[in-house]
Amino acid sequence: MGNLTNDMTRLRGEIETLRSERGAQIRDRVSTVSTLLSDFAAAHTAMAKKSRKEGASYVTRIKKQVARMRKETAADLARAHHAWFGKEK
């Protein structure tokens, strides 16, 4: 075989090797991206659960505070009424 034939054979081998390596890199990238997306989804789900729990806790706390304030206001109004008008009905 001549130099040209040897060079063509070598180039063909290099092309096949590079194509194979590129395919492996693409498969690896697909796998990595898939894993990242899965991790993002899991993190988002965990964050949503935490936010929901914190939101429910906040609403419960606010409801208790408002109920306490309403009770205090009602007591203040009752005392004011008693001070202005005397005995309650």
Question: Residues 41-81: pLDDT tens digits?
Answer: 999 999 999 999 999 999 999 999 999 999 999 999 999 99
- H or E element in which residue 88 lies: none
pLDDT tens-digit readout, 12-48: 999 999 999 999 999 999 999 999 999 999 999 999 9
CA distance 86 to 82: 5
* Neighbouring C-alpha atoms within 13 Å toward the C-beta of 1: 8
Torsion of CA 32, 38, 40, 42, to 10 degrees: -150
- By C-alpha distance, which of 58, 55, 59 is closest to 47? 55
Alpha-carbon gap, residue 37 to 30, rounded angstroms: 10
